[in-house]
């Protein structure tokens, strides 16, 4: 027997005997017989005779006999309550007794058509509509549509309901449960089920007072009927359960900002997590509201509106309304108004609480607990929309498990989205709303302390990750006390940087804007090497420029030298010779003035790299100057790096035998220290020297070893550079296939880095014999490198 959706035994027994088998105000014989049999069984269970029951209830024996024989067509509800009391029925049994007789005596007289109007301009959501079609064909058709405020849950449900209404000829019921409403409390299930019974033609005098009895009556009436019920804006599963029919012939669609996980678990509801519109759907929504001509006339402005509204349907609808209602307003005007994040929510204010984006978001915020509200506001102070669980715990000043519980509450309220078990994000407008709340509800000290805690977290982890990946690097200047970070392995450190570098970049910008100059410098230093080696050169230049400004505010020549050198190295990679040489010269001068000989020497080596493109002897001379300074400072790793550079330049001069001497001397030092990135660079130089000497197999082996080291540290540019040289070795050894693979993979990486060497790789591929060249067209698969 199927008892899903909270179905009671009595509904299951009577399901085939109710619904369309009744006419007028009379109970059909089969229904009366089943109801009478149930009453008789309960009396026998209580060990009572008909006379005993009559005496206990005060009813006549004749009345009891008529009820048990099925002859009574219209029992009074008060009589049924007296019988329930005498039989000492449980609440469910009591509700079933009263509800079953009440349902039988109150057949529906009308076919309700209560669906709300379909939303104008609805578009997209094809996959969700198809899913709802599929749910409607299931044995127990129950769907729960959840998502954040303004994402279009009601629009989707109403649009599908109108489209599918003809499949449910016995009527459609609708109720706004006011789970998230600015001026109303969540609807009581008893009030809603009474409205449904009214809509189904049940006279008010025949509706029981108790909710359980009302539910039993509702389920009895809807049993066997092909109906559609739309329960909009539910607050919780408990609000919905009494409104679920017993029959699998009735489709129920529920919308909520809460996840309603209980309905999925206990009632087997199909969960549809409604996401933001796709960029194309968002553009189509604007087009339906504004017309194709306006979108085609200002496509860039339309795209910016889509981006600024975060592809949230409600925000897009409000923006479109502004473009329509404000006389003479262009899409560019609307886009410009939305560009200021500080006032974007004001721009999306309609003055109507039902459509004002800030007001609609507030309904979810005001339903969460006070601790969750505190954390939500602080998430608005975090400069990036994504945040990991440990960072969120530091931001809020909570233990990790306490933070996890609160984030779960926020997730259930659709105020955050879980990207994984320990990572969360806020939709753009929700992030702005949280920041807005933080500014108005939390004092400056609370916000500043939260910022300090989260900076401590990111700095400690970034410093530790940098140390694990680039141990040869000189330690940062002591500008800010940083808590100890975790003992990273290289692969974990790289994974953390990949995951968090956008948050680090945003935090750096925020620290600079807030005048946290020392923290800004430390953050910029901690992430600089990762950004350089991963090829994020624009981020590197922007961040190091902010740090340079911060260092100037601190009037610190040494810090300025550090960040000027970082900028110079970035421009070396961009092959901007004039700017790079000027910056590196300035860095060397400031480093010398501040007494940092190692930094001054380290500013010489990237200059030599630039000079080598036109004057190899001069590049070697610069490296020798660097070696002299490293020796004065007792810095053997810096000296080894300069030796490697000389070896490379000697190879380019056609002197590979001499080059090997320099490279092997460098290799001894670097292997002793275990510095992977410098080891890889030296192996690359050594391999090239052996290649030029005709030792093709040895060269290929050295290149493979270098590539393995580079994969560990994630240096994408060096990875591509070594792949290019490895391809040369494979071709020289006669392995065209391996050469083609190496150059193809190098081209992938250079292209992703937007580096001009991608053209060199493509030209080498084009020069391969025809059979190999034909394979170079399949360039969609990325290389097995440090991605």
Going by C-alpha positions, the residue among 455, 447, 595 that lies closest to residue 524 is 455
Nearest-angstrom CA–CA distance, 726 and 439: 56
Top pLDDT among 288 and 121 is at 288
What CATH architecture is 365-442? Orthogonal Bundle (1.10)
Q: Give 699-722 pLDDT, tens digit per residue.
A: 989 999 999 998 888 888 889 999
Q: Quick one: pLDDT at residue 608?
A: 93
In the predicted model, is pLDDT for residue 10 greater than 70?
no
What CATH architecture is 126-273? 3-Layer(aba) Sandwich (3.40)
The helix-helix angle for 490-513 and 696-713 (nearest 10°) equals: 50
What CATH architecture is 470-646? Alpha Horseshoe (1.25)
Correct CATH for 20-104 of 1.10.150.20, 3.30.300.30, 3.30.930.10, 1.10.260.40: 1.10.260.40
In the predicted model, is pLDDT for residue 233 greater than 80?
yes
Q: Please, which pLDDT band fits residue 491 given cuts at 50, 70 and 90?
A: confident
Domain boundaries along the sequence of the chain: 20-104, 126-273, 279-339, 365-442, 470-646, 659-777
Q: What is the mean pLDDT of the chain?
A: 87
In this chain, the answer to whether the domains covering 470-646 and 659-777 adopt an identical fold is yes
Q: Quick one: pLDDT at residue 426?
A: 92
Q: Give 82-137 pLDDT, tens digit per residue.
A: 888 888 888 777 777 766 665 555 444 478 999 998 877 788 899 999 999 999 99
Q: Quick one: pLDDT at residue 782?
A: 37
Query: Residue 360 to residues 123, 149, 233, 433: CA-CA distances in angstroms?
Result: 21, 6, 12, 11
Going by C-alpha positions, the residue among 256, 189, 255, 188 that lies closest to residue 219 is 189
Query: Residue 523 to residues 47, 297, 526, 528: CA-CA distances in angstroms?
Result: 81, 43, 5, 9
DSSP reduced 3-state for 188:
coil
Q: Quick one: pLDDT at residue 446?
A: 96
Nearest-angstrom CA–CA distance, 201 and 191: 16
In the predicted model, is pLDDT for residue 4 greater than 60?
no
Q: Where are the alpha helices (DSSP H) in 152-291?
A: 153-164, 189-199, 211-222, 237-240, 261-266, 279-290
Query: Are 429 and 344 spatial neighbours (Cβ–Cβ below 8 Å)?
Result: yes
- Least confident range from 14-18, 74-78, 310-314, 732-736: namely 14-18
**Would you say domain 659-777 falls under CATH 1.25.40.10?**
yes
Top pLDDT among 535 and 512 is at 512
Mean predicted confidence (pLDDT) in 604-631:
93
- Structural tokens at position 122: 């609805």
- Structural tokens at position 388: 């990991």
Query: Are 590 and 557 spatial neighbours (Cβ–Cβ below 8 Å)?
Result: yes
Q: Quick one: pLDDT at residue 641?
A: 93
Nearest-angstrom CA–CA distance, 670 and 679: 6
Mean predicted confidence (pLDDT) in 542-548:
96
Nearest-angstrom CA–CA distance, 596 and 561: 9
Query: Are 281 and 124 spatial neighbours (Cβ–Cβ below 8 Å)?
Result: yes
Query: Are 414 and 148 spatial neighbours (Cβ–Cβ below 8 Å)?
Result: yes
Q: Where are the alpha helices (DSSP H) in 291-388?
A: 292-297, 299-308, 313-325, 331-339, 344-347, 357-365, 370-379
The pTM score is 0.74
Mean predicted confidence (pLDDT) in 553-559:
93
Q: Quick one: pLDDT at residue 36?
A: 81
Which residues lie below 8 Å from residue 563, measured CB to CB, with a gap of 6+?
Answer: 521, 524, 525, 544, 545, 547, 548, 551
Pairing of strands 251-256, 142-146: parallel
Query: Residue 481 to residues 300, 372, 455, 461, 524: CA-CA distances in angstroms?
Result: 46, 31, 11, 13, 15
Nearest-angstrom CA–CA distance, 225 and 700: 76
Cα-flanking dihedrals φ and ψ of residue 418, to 5°? -85, 120
Q: Give 365-395 pLDDT, tens digit per residue.
A: 998 999 999 999 999 999 998 999 999 999 9
């Amino acid at each position: 027997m199927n008892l899903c959706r909270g179905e009671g035994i009595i509904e299951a027994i009577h399901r085939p005997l109710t619904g369309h088998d009744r006419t007028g105000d009379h109970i059909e014989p089969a229904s009366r017989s089943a109801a009478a049999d149930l009453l008789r069984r309960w009396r026998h269970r209580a060990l009572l005779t008909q006379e005993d029951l009559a005496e206990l209830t005060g009813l006549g024996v004749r009345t009891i006999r008529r009820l048990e024989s099925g002859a009574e067509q219209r029992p009074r509800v008060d009589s049924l309550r007296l019988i329930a009391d005498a039989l000492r029925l449980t609440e469910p049994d009591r509700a079933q007794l009263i509800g079953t007789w009440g349902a039988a005596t109150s057949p529906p007289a009308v076919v309700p058509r209560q669906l709300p109007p379909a939303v104008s301009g609805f578009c997209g959501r094809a996959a969700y509509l198809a899913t709802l079609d599929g749910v409607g064909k299931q044995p127990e058709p129950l769907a729960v549509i959840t998502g954040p405020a303004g994402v279009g849950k009601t629009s989707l449900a109403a649009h599908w309901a109108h489209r599918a209404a003809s499949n449910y000829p016995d009527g459609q019921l609708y109720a706004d449960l006011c789970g998230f409403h600015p001026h109303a409390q969540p609807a009581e299930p008893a009030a809603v089920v009474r409205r449904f019974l009214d809509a189904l033609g049940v006279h008010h005098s025949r509706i029981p007072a108790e909710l359980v009895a009302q539910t039993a009556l509702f389920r009895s009436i809807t049993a066997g009927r092909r109906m559609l019920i739309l329960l909009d804006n539910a607050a919780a599963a408990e609000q919905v359960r009494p409104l679920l029919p017993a029959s699998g012939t009735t489709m129920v669609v529920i919308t909520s900002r809460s996840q309603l996980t209980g309905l999925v678990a206990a009632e087997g509801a199909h969960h549809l997590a409604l996401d933001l519109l796709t960029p194309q759907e968002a553009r189509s929504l604007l087009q339906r509201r504004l017309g194709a001509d306006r979108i085609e006339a200002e496509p860039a402005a339309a795209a910016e509106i889509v981006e600024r509204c975060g592809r949230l349907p409600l925000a897009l609808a409000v923006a479109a309304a502004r473009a329509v209602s404000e006389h003479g307003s262009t899409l560019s005007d609307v886009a410009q108004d939305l560009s200021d994040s500080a006032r974007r929510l004001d721009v999306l204010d309609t003055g109507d609480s039902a459509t004002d984006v800030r007001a609609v978001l507030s309904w979810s915020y005001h339903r969460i607990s006070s601790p969750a509200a505190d954390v939500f506001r602080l998430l608005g102070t975090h400069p990036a929309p994504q945040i990991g669980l440990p960072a969120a715990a530091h931001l809020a000043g909570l233990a990790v498990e306490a933070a996890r519980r609160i984030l779960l509450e926020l997730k259930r309220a659709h105020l955050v989205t879980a990207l994984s078990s320990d990572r969360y994000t806020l939709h753009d407008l929700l992030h702005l709303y949280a920041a807005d709340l933080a500014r108005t509800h939390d004092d400056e000290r609370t916000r500043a302390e939260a910022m300090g805690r989260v900076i401590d977290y990111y700095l400690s982890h970034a410093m530790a990750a940098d140390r694990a990946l680039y141990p040869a690097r000189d330690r940062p200047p002591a500008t800010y006390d940083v808590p100890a970070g975790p003992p990273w392995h290289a692969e974990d450190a790289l994974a953390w940087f990949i995951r968090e570098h956008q948050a680090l970049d945003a935090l750096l910008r925020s620290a600079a804007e807030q005048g946290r100059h020392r923290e800004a410098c430390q953050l910029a230093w901690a992430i600089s090497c990762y950004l350089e080696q991963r090829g994020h050169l624009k981020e590197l230049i922007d961040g190091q420029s902010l740090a340079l400004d911060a260092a100037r505010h601190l009037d610190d020549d040494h810090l300025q030298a550090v960040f000027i050198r970082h900028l110079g190295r970035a421009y070396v990679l961009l092959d901007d010779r004039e700017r790079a040489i000027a910056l590196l010269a300035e860095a060397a001068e400031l480093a010398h003035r501040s007494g940092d000989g190692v930094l001054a020497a380290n500013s010489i080596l990237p200059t030599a790299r630039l000079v080598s493109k036109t004057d190899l002897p001069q590049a070697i001379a610069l490296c020798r100057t660097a070696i002299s300074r490293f020796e004065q400072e007792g810095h053997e790793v810096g000296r080894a790096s300069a030796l490697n550079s000389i070896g490379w330049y000697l190879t380019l001069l056609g002197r590979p035998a001499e080059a090997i001497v320099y490279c092997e001397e460098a290799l001894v030092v670097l292997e002793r220290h275990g510095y992977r990135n410098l080891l890889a660079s030296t192996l690359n130089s050594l391999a090239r020297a052996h290649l030029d000497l005709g030792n093709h197999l040895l060269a290929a082996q050295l290149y493979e070893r270098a590539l393995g080291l580079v994969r560990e540290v994630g240096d994408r540019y060096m990875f591509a550079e070594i792949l290019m040289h490895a391809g040369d070795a494979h071709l020289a050894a006669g392995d065209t296939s391996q050469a083609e693979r190496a150059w193809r993979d190098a081209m992938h990486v250079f292209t992703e880095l937007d580096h001009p060497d991608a053209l060199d790789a493509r030209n080498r591929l084009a020069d391969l014999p025809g059979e190999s060249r034909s394979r170079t067209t399949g360039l969609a698969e990325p290389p097995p490198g440090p991605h």
